[in-house]
Amino acid sequence: MTQPTKSAWALLFILGIIWGGSFMGAKLALASFGPLSVAAMRLLIAAVFLLVINAMRGGRLPGFSTPVDKRIWLHILAMGLFTNALPFTLLNWGQLYVTSGFAGITMAVVPLLILPLAHFLIAGEQMNLRKFIGFAVGFIGVVVLIGPASLLANSGASMEPIARMACIGAAICYAIGAMNTRLCPPVPTISFSAAGLLVGTLMLLPVALYVEGWPDMPSTSALLGTIYLGIFPTALATLMLVFVINTAGPSFLSLVNYQVPMWAVLFGVLLLGEALPSQFIAALGLILIGLLISQWFTVMGILRRD
């Protein structure tokens, strides 16, 4: 198996910070832009960035001449929808009513949601008792995170319960997107990612312009937040992700899921002055415990190899 290098460990740490900071970036951007506009601009900036990088490396977008090529483009379409356009929009809309820390915690749910999907879609990754227990503990954490009372609350009183479920919906999209990427035939990662970002942009940009119109002059912080979202957690993080997968493997990369919620909460509390209700801590603890149980042997194997 591939040995994680010091560079891989360093990039894993940096990825946790970058992805954790994306929720703070979205909160800043939403002060001047609508949720659809933020998502569309994030995708546009990232798509242009990666298309230029791909061209400089001599890469091209996947072809469309063979049946395999056409299947790849179906996966690219799914990536544009489930990995990019839909979850970005759901998270942005959700953050109009919930804190960035809450939105970040929901991302710890992604690997737990992958477990039942992989059971049905990926050969050799069926659920066992340990994975089921981990999923069950994590699911309880999700219920605590949303708030059982919120599920029964009158939605007319507040949009927060619906916004919480929108954030969970984004996590479901990311899990579906992960399965879609894994099932895709072999294709250069940067080309695949650039094409997915381009497709996501083409899906979302016309909708954003139609629904929210051309954005007004933004504040400096909103503009910086939008640029951060496009370059760092969307485009640059993809390049880091490619390096980590190629040098240490996808199982090693999954360890980033332990970091993202903590950074998101930390940035939200320290830099945005967000409140941190006690249920968030309890929910994060349950989700991380469930994640640790479900991936115990993977985590221990990686740490022993290091």
DSSP-derived letter for residue 123 is: T
Structural domain range at position 13: 6-305
Q: Which residue has the tokens 């149980």?
A: 293
Is 40 a member of any domain? Answer: yes
Is 42 a member of any domain? Answer: yes
Is 131 a member of any domain? Answer: yes
Percent of the chain with pLDDT over 70: 84
**Which of the pair, 48 or 148, is modelled with greater confidence?**
48
Rounded to the nearest angstrom, the gap between the alpha carbon of residue 200 and the centroid of all alpha carbons in its chain is 14
Mean pLDDT for 157-163 is: 78
Is 255 a member of any domain? Answer: yes
Is 236 a member of any domain? Answer: yes
Q: Give me the number of domains the chain comprises.
A: 1
Mean pLDDT for 251-257 is: 68
Confidence of residue 153 (pLDDT cuts 50, 70, 90): very low
**Which of the pair, 302 or 165, is modelled with greater confidence?**
165
Is 299 a member of any domain? Answer: yes
Angstrom CA distances, 262 to 5, 163, 198, 219, 265, stand at 24, 20, 30, 28, 5
Looking at residue 1, its pLDDT comes to: 45
80-137 pLDDT tens trace: 999 999 999 999 999 999 888 888 888 877 777 777 777 777 666 667 777 777 777 8
Looking at residue 154, its pLDDT comes to: 42
**Prediction pTM value:** 0.82
Under 8 Å between Cβ of 62 and 76: yes
The CA R_g of the chain, rounded to the nearest whole Å, is 19
Is 17 a member of any domain? Answer: yes
Query: Chain-wide mean pLDDT for the chain?
Result: 83
Is 1 a member of any domain? Answer: no
